[in-house]
Amino acid sequence: PAGIDRAVKIILPDAVGHSASVSERFLRQAKEAFALRHPNIVNVTDSGLIDGLLPFIVMDLIPSSSLKEVLAGRGPLPPSEAFRYISAIGEGLEFAHARGIFHGDLKPRNILVQQERPVAEAIKIADFGLSVIKSGKIHEATQGQGSGILRSPLYLAPEERSEEESDARSDIYRDR
């Protein structure tokens, strides 16, 4: 729509093993996640391949700071505000999980916070659909196993660190 700025995220060739078939598989596997439409999830409006190899996604550009940046600047949130953040994040996750889609790399850097808006509207979860590439699971068919290098070890549930199958519970795991 007119008046909405877009951002383009390009998946680097190293992440897809310089393989057109892996790039295509990534786009197929992530298609449902890209179609999620919820007020607390960043909208992906297009995806495809550049030169048949380089996957890209087009998403709404959200003028925001990440939750990681917010916490670094402000320190811990007061409990009542933290509850509002968690509630908004939970709304987005509940919507995705009800459709059989999980994030797989949920962390403060993937939570966007828009300024000057009520928290329920300000929170946007980014990078749904990218977990298949971040986990390395997209590589399994062509390389034997994934490395998981692109993910954040501090936020991984136990099954994410092993060969076990991940599911929506991985998005709400907390090891502390």
Catalytic sites, residue numbers: 105
8: Cα separation from own chain's centroid: 14
Please tell me the distance from the alpha carbon of residue 58 to that of residue 161, in angstroms, as a whole number: 30
- Residue 129's DSSP bridge partners are none
Query: What tokens appear for 13 in the block?
Result: 């060739």
Beta bridge partners of 46: 58
Q: How far apart are the first and last CA of the chain?
A: 43
